[in-house]
């Protein structure tokens, strides 16, 4: 099954057809990949937990249709408020400098 993408840049339209790659999907959904993204997400959560006294940043891994995803989220009221006031997660990612 081929998928189509249509993109337009500066008035030029391009249509692309592609076939989803099963090997790519298998790699992006593998246990090793999940371990790598979990480690990265845990580093971000650890940085966020070290800022402003909030200790409620958590990590969640979810499997999508084609790849695994990691989420760092606020797990308690204190971290929610801290993130809202200080943009802690954005700073832990390296933004907001």
pLDDT digits (tens, 9 = 90+) for 8-51: 877 788 888 877 788 888 888 899 999 999 999 999 999 999 99
| Contact between 88 and 48 (Cβ < 8 Å) | yes
Q: To the nearest whole number, what is the mean pLDDT of the chain?
A: 88
Query: Integer distance in angstroms from the first to the last C-alpha of the chain?
Result: 44
pTM: 0.73
What stretch of H or E contains 3?
strand 3-9
* Those residues with Cβ within 8 angstroms of residue 47's Cβ, 6 or more apart along the chain or in another chain: 91, 92
3-state DSSP call for residue 53? coil
Q: Is residue 83 exposed (0-12), middle (13-18) or buried (19+ Cβ within 10 Å)? A: buried
């Amino acid at each position: 099954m081929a998928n189509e993408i249509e993109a337009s840049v500066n008035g030029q339209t391009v249509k692309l057809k592609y076939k989803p790659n099963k090997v790519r999907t298998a790699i992006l959904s593998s246990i090793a990949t999940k371990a790598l993204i979990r480690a990265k997400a845990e580093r971000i959560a650890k940085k966020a937990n070290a800022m402003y006294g909030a200790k409620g940043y958590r990590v969640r891994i979810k499997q999508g249709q084609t790849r695994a995803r990691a989420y760092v989220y606020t797990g308690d009221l204190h971290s929610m408020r801290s993130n809202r006031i200080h943009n802690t997660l954005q700073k832990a990612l390296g933004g907001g400098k």
